Amino acid sequence: SQTIHQWPATLVQPVGSPLSLECTVEGTSNPNLYWYRQAAGRGLQLLFYSVGIGQISSEVPQNLSASRPQDRQFILSSKKLLLSDSGFYLCASAAGGGVEQFFGPGTRLTVL
Amino acid sequence: KQEVTQIPAALSVPEGENLVLNCSFTDSAIYNLQWFRQDPGKGLTSLLLIQSSQREQTSGRLNASLDKSSGRSTLYIAASQPGDSATYLCAVRGIAGSARQLTFGSGTQLTVLP
C-alpha cells in the first residue's frame, strides 16, 4: 500500500512570508497527487492535482501554487502568505486510474 | 457540480450501540464512493471503498451501502466503541476528468461514550 509523508507537521508563519510544504509518496509509481486544504469547521477543499511530472491543475484561484519536480514529490508553495491561508493541508495519492485515495498526516499552518 | 451532504453533523451515542451515518450526493454519475475516518489533528484514513457497480462493502464492524440511483450511501457501525470516536467523511469520485477528483462532505463527528 501507499505511504504518504508530509513535512513539516506544523508551521507558524507571519503574513507576507513565503511557504513551502512538501509531500512524498512511497509504494507506487506514477500516482495522481492532490493537495487539499481543510479550514476549521469546513470540509476538504481540493487545491491542486497532478497526473504526472510537471503537470499541475488548479481548482481554485489563490495565491498558492504547486509543483511536481519528481514522480513522487509534490510541493505546495506561496510567495506571500495571507491570514486566510491558515488551515490544515493534506496531500493525497491515488495509483494510476485513481481508484482509491490515500492521505498523508497533514501540515497544520497558522499564519499570524 | 457535485455536492455531498452528511447528516447528522454530530452524533453522540453510548458504547455498544449500532449506528448509521448518512451521506447523500446530487450527481449520481459517480465512479466510486469512499468513506474516511479522521481523528483530531490527523490525516484521513480510508475505511471503505464502494465501486459504482457495487451495493455494499464490509470491513469488520463497518458496513457501507451505496444506492447510486437515489444518491445515497450509509455507513453502519456495529457495537460501537469509544475508539470509534472520530469524524467520518464521505467522498464521491466523479466519472469526468482524468484525475477522477473526490468531492467531500463536511463530515459527521461521532462521539461514543463509555
The per-residue pLDDT for A62 is 79
Pairing status of strand B10-14 against strand B108-113:
parallel
pLDDT at position A60 is 78
Taking every pair of Cα atoms in chain B, the longest distance, rounded to a whole number of angstroms, is: 45
Q: What is the pLDDT of residue B39?
A: 95
Distance CA B75, CA B47 (A): 10
| Average pLDDT of span A89-103 | 84
* CB atoms inside a 10 Å sphere around CB A23: 25
pLDDT at A98: 56
Partners of residue A99 in chain B, C-beta under 8 Å: 32, 49
Per the CB < 8 A criterion, the answer to whether B44 and A103 are in contact is yes
Name beta bridge partners: B89: B36
Average pLDDT, rounded, for chain A: 91
CB contacts < 8 A, A to B, total: 59
A28-32, A94-98, B80-84 — which one is most confidently predicted on average? B80-84
Whole-angstrom Cα distance, residue A110 to residue B99? 29
Pull the grid cell for residue A41: 469547521
Enumerate the residues of chain B whose CB falls inside 8 A of the CB of residue A89.
Answer: none
> With an 8 Å Cβ cutoff, are A103 and B46 in contact?
yes
Rounded to an integer, the average pLDDT of B30-49 is 94
Question: Is residue A41 pLDDT above 80, yes or no?
Answer: no
Question: pLDDT by residue (tens digit) across B85-110?
Answer: 999 999 998 876 655 678 999 999 99
pLDDT in tens, B50-60: 999 999 999 99
